Chain A
Amino acid sequence: MQALLSFDQAPPFSAPIRFFVSAPLFAILAGLLMLWSGPDLFSSRWTPAALALTHLITAGFMLQVMLGAMFQILPVVAGANISRPLLIATVVHAAIALGALLLAAAFLSHQPLAFRLAVISLGSGLALFAGAAGHALYGVPSRNPTIVGLKLSLVGLSMTVGIGALLAIALDASLALPLLQLTSIHLGWGFVGWGMVLLAAVAFVVVPMFQMTPPYPPGVARHFCWSVLVLLSLWSVVELADWQWPAALLAGALVLAAAVFAAVTLHVQRRSKRARFDATQHYWRVAMLCALAACLLWFLASLLPTLAERPEWPLLCGVLVLSGGFMSVMIGMLYKIVPFLVWLHLQNLGGGRVMAPNMNKVIAGEQIDRQMRAHFVSLAVLLAAVAWPEWFTYPAGIALVVANSWLLRNLLAAVTFYQQHRSTIQGLAPAVATGR
């Protein structure tokens, strides 16, 4: 009940924004890594540079955005407040940022110490976040699919990091572990148990409400997250036991579930009643199309052994899912979340005496559109780089740096806008403005 009483307490602006502003820095580093390592990066998914790059995007970009957003949405959708949000956000942010950097360095240098430090840093940051979020969610009844999904995504995240930590330790301790299977399971939990479950949980609320679409079919909303997690758990056991047929069937079911989610989202969004199709909606559409393409590619590879043997297909799937799917949705959502937070905090600071400028003034519309085009170009060039690394690795690296520098510029423009207006408000109404 305590959590319910205080659901007005949106965390201070600086708690979520630090995560959002840091995210593009990791993608810029990923682009620089591509330029530094050259076409060799794409020779297989197992090259040190490919592994470092993947983790700069997942443990860097994605983790930053997702945790920042969780700080903001837990109080709204579940009435669950993380206590002392600024302190928790500061520590969690520092720990996961350092952890992601160390992890990338560990893959590149193959230094056991770097792996251990990365595990400690990421593990402690995430344990603190999971503990704080779990504590806030404890006792909140699972009234709707979104609350269930948020809780399950925390389980997914913990499993991903747990298995990842085991792998990192096993790499240098030469433990007799089935490393290939564990890597698949780590990847499955990361993409599906954490990423997709969290995305779906948020989509069930955000898509109908902000894009004015009909609701998701109740069966999909109610059963998607938990059934995916059950399938994922069964698949993990079977995969570890090395039962090949059942593992392939269950993996197929999981990929099919992802495809169904993407298809249903596209279908629902086609019936949006909004008059203007904005950047966020473009981002969602491209993301869902990329997810469908990745699923199709996966099925093709499991049907055609000649395709499955080629090193390009897992890389192609990876680019489609990470850059095309997750990054696209997240950037699209940032363009709603950040301007709204700026407006909300300025409005609260003004205390009704000073009206905050509306959210469309926070980041210029044409800058958002240009950044979006830069992101889509970077996606296209990345896909080309997988197919023809000799030709396209360097352009892809540059494109990734450009698109994410632009994103960083847009987010910093929002922060500057907030700071300038905050000073104005404080100058006008010193008695009212006491915010951070």
Chain B
Amino acid sequence: MHEITDFMTRDHRSCDACLVAVEAAVEGGAWERAGTEFARFRDAMLNHFSVEESVLFPRFEERTGMYRGPTQVMRGEHVQMRQLLAAAETALAERDADDYMGNAETLLIMMQQHNVKEENVLYPMCDQHLADQLENLLPELRAQIDEHLTSPSR
């Protein structure tokens, strides 16, 4: 009953781990490594958004008829997080540790409150409404997320 919630939540945690790796590199002044880790983090985030926006959300919207409901809110928050990712990337390119940390901290809180909403409200609703589609939906989600993990860069 929680397959979607569990699977998507795991991907949230994996994005968190990528963010931590960048932070550790920036704090240690290892800018090269920070750049590589940031690319990984950014790609993981963008991939997660795109899986949701192209696979999960359309199925949910189609099934429930809620086009202007929670998925619309989540799409809006994805836009804000994309902007923060871009700001953090600029700060990193300029090797401005304070500016990077400020943008990363804002992104972290934005991400986490977004995750709480998804994990507590939206994913459980998906599990509830899309239970009969799990057989082909889960492999599709898995394929897109795993494809990203195995490809070195996008």
Contacts and interface: CB of A to CB of B under 8 A. Distances in A.
A4 B121 contact: yes
Contact of A358 (B16, B99, B115): B99
A417 interface: no
A210 B87 contact: no
Contacts of B120: 77-79, 143-144, 146-147
* A: interface residue count bin: 20 to 34
B79 A360 contact: no
B63 interface: no
Contacts of A273: 17, 20, 24
A37 interface: no
Contacts of A209: 112, 115-116
A309 interface: no
Contact of B76 (A8, A79, A144, A276): A8
Interface string B101-132: 11101101110110111001100110000000
A76 B74 CA distance: 12
A110 interface: no
A76 B105 contact: no
B109 A210 contact: yes
Contacts of B58: none
A343 B87 CA distance: 14
Interface in A326-367: 336, 340, 343-344, 347, 352, 355, 358-361
Given A143-B124, A352-B79, A358-B102, A336 B116 contact: no
Contacts of B102: 358-361
B98 interface: yes
Contact of B23 (A274, A343, A344, A358): A274
Contacts of B105: 358-360
A421 B145 CA distance: 39
A13 to B, nearest CB: 16
A336 B105 CA distance: 9
Interface in B8-60: 16-17, 20, 23-24, 26-28
A5 B106 contact: no
A417 to B, nearest CB: 13
Interface in B119-153: 120-121, 124-125
Interface in A368-419: none
Contact of A76 (B76, B84, B113): B113
A352 B78 CA distance: 12
Contacts of B116: 76-77, 205, 209
B80 A358 contact: no
B109 A79 contact: no
Nearest to A337: B109
A274 B20 CA distance: 6
Interface in B55-72: 66, 69-70, 72
A270 B117 CA distance: 27
Interface residues of B, number: 38
Nearest to B108: A210
A209 B112 CA distance: 6
Nearest to A80: B121
A7 interface: yes
A76 B117 contact: yes
A431 interface: no
A180 interface: no
Interface in A135-171: 143-144, 146-147
B101 A276 contact: yes
B87 A358 contact: yes
Given A76-B113, A355-B83, A360 B101 contact: yes
A343 B106 contact: yes
B20 A5 contact: no
Nearest to B107: A358
Contact of B106 (A76, A143, A147, A358): A358
B26 A275 contact: yes
A125 to B, nearest CB: 27
B59 to A, nearest CB: 17
Contact of B70 (A5, A77, A147, A344): A5
B115 to A, nearest CB: 7
A343 B83 CA distance: 13
Contacts of A76: 113, 116-117
Contacts of B117: 7, 76, 79
Contact of B80 (A78, A143, A210, A347): A347
A144 B108 CA distance: 22
A212 interface: yes
23 contacts: A4-B121, A8-B70, A77-B116, A78-B120, A78-B121, A79-B117, A143-B124, A212-B16, A212-B20, A275-B20, A275-B23, A276-B27, A336-B109, A340-B106, A340-B109, A344-B110, A347-B80, A352-B79, A352-B80, A358-B87, A358-B102, A359-B109, A360-B98
Given A212-B20, A355-B87, A358-B99, 14 more contacts: A7-B117, A8-B76, A76-B116, A143-B124, A212-B16, A273-B24, A275-B23, A275-B24, A275-B28, A347-B80, A352-B80, A355-B83, A358-B84, A360-B106
The 9 closest A-B pairs by CB, nearest first: A360-B102, A358-B102, A275-B27, A8-B73, A209-B112, A79-B121, A359-B106, A273-B20, A275-B23
Interface of A: 4-5, 7-8, 76-79, 143-144, 146-147, 205, 209-210, 212, 273-276, 336, 340, 343-344, 347, 352, 355, 358-361
